[in-house]
């Protein structure tokens, strides 16, 4: 049995936040209906397309869902959503601030129709506080939350993280809230409103940086490059190898002793480096010493030596290397799928449950592909009723 088998989910989100949350629910067995505007999710129009012309971004977070086109600005479209919400378990949405309430589809209105409904709202800044209601995207949240100020090198400009960490971390937090609400509903019989903001979801990841700032009374640089965010561990960096880069860190003095034995450099025996406090006080010298050693070896060979000494490490992979990595392939989080239309790549799931196999993803539907079938199967509408909605411009 799948963990969320029988759970009906409506996803009104676009981009990554709510779509990723609902994608994880689909992989856990939920029946997810993705409702899009008449123009469709903006990521459908991304120039990054696969060989079949499908947006890779859209496919990665929307495969395995039924797709429906519905105009929520149209009263007839709003009524369709109310009927769908009346028999759904979860509505996941990250529309623009206040949009659901303006449409008459906020939590209070929908819970009046279905008291068991859980509404999961993804927002930029939440429903209260000075910034409540302001629009936000991954990049702007990284700026507002000091993520950019702590990314990059001390003498360089602020830098956004390579991946969209805010959207995906927030999507995972939103899933956690939904699952907690589903569990509580088994005891109370009532749904509730779950809210996760992009800002709230990313701030905990700054724990080391905040600790370093407090511990140094503000003297520690905000941007530490590849060094420890709190400047409290050395070595802790990306070091140049013969054919690329390797990361390694020595969280304890025992790890440093093992590394010194590997390097076989008399300079590593300097008593200044014996304790972590001394190494942190002499970071530049420690990094130069380690880098001198790593540059003499290929990155994969370094990883083998370091792992053999039980020192935390990893070669720095490129994107092509990541997609070919045997462990990534074995885990199936990035998943190759074949169907009658050919092969495509999408996301699997990072959630592994011993008694609940992951639902294999299917190709993401075209815009509005399942509109008619959803109206028939979920609401029992007749062809004439569907034709009326289409004539009214609601679907």
Helix (H, G, I), strand (E, B) or coil at 382: coil
Yes or no: say if 85 and 114 are a contact pair by the CB < 8 Å rule.
yes
Among residues 191, 296, 193, the alpha carbon closest in space to that of 241 is found at 296
Which distant-in-sequence residues (6+ apart) come within 8 Å of 50 by Cβ?
56, 59, 344, 345
**CA angle 258–262–268, rounded 5-degree value:** 75
For residue 142, give the H/E element and its range.
helix 138-144
**CA angle 232–233–239, rounded 5-degree value:** 135
> In 3-state terms, the chain is what percent helix, strand and coil (to 5)?
45, 15, 40
Among residues 103, 105, 98, 91, the alpha carbon closest in space to that of 25 is found at 91
Beta bridge partners of 36: 69
Phi, psi dihedral angles at 49 (to 5 degrees): -115, 155
Q: Which two tokens stand for residue 315?
A: 């070669």
Identify whether 167 is a catalytic site residue: yes
Q: Is 128 exposed, middle or buried (0-12, 13-18, 19+ CB in 10 A)?
A: exposed
Distances (CA, A) of 76 to 8, 27, 70, 114, 152: 22, 31, 9, 19, 50
Catalytic residue among 31, 138, 167, 287: 167
Beta bridge partners of 315: 246
For residue 240, give the H/E element and its range.
strand 236-241
Q: Is 379 exposed, middle or buried (0-12, 13-18, 19+ CB in 10 A)?
A: middle
Beta bridge partners of 92: 11, 120
Residues designated catalytic: 167
């Amino acid at each position: 049995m799948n963990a969320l088998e029988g759970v009906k989910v409506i996803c009104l989100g676009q981009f990554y936040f709510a779509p990723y949350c609902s994608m994880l629910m689909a992989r856990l067995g939920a029946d997810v209906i993705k409702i899009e505007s008449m123009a469709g999710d903006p990521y459908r129009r991304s120039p990054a397309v696969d060989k079949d012309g499908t947006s890779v971004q859209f496919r990665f977070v929307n495969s395995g869902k039924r797709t429906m086109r519905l105009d929520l600005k149209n009263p007839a479209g709003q009524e369709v959503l109310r009927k769908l919400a009346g028999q759904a378990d979860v509505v996941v949405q990250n529309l623009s601030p206040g949009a659901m309430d303006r449409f008459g589809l906020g939590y209070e209105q929908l819970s009046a129709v279905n008291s068991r409904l859980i509404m999961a709202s993804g927002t930029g800044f939440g429903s209260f506080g000075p910034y409540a209601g302001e629009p936000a995207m991954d990049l702007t949240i990284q700026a507002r939350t000091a993520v950019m100020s702590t990314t990059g090198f001390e003498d360089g400009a602020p830098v956004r993280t390579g991946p969209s960490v805010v959207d995906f971390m927030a999507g995972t937090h939103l899933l956690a809230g939904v699952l907690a609400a589903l569990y509580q509903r088994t005891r109370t019989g009532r749904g509730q409103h779950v809210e996760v903001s992009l800002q709230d979801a990313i701030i905990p990841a700054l724990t080391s940086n905040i600790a370093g700032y407090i511990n140094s009374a503000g003297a520690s640089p905000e941007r530490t490059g590849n060094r420890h965010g709190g400047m409290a561990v050395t070595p802790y960096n990306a070091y140049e190898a013969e054919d690329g880069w390797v990361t390694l860190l020595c969280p304890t003095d025992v790890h440093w002793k093992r590394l010194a034995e590997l390097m076989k450099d008399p300079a590593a025996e300097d008593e200044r480096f014996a304790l972590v406090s001394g190494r942190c006080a002499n970071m530049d010298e420690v990094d130069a010493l380690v880098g001198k050693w790593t540059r003499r070896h290929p990155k994969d060979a370094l990883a083998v030596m370091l792992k053999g000494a039980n020192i935390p490490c990893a070669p720095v992979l490129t994107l092509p290397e990541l997609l070919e990595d045997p462990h990534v392939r074995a885990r199936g989080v990035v998943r190759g799928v074949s169907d009658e239309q050919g092969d495509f790549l999408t996301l699997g799931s990072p959630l592994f449950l011993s008694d609940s196999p992951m639902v294999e993803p299917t190709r993401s539907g075209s815009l509005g592909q399942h509109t008619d079938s959803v109206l028939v199967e979920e609401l029992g509408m007749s062809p004439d009723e569907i034709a009326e909605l289409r004539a009214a411009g609601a679907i």
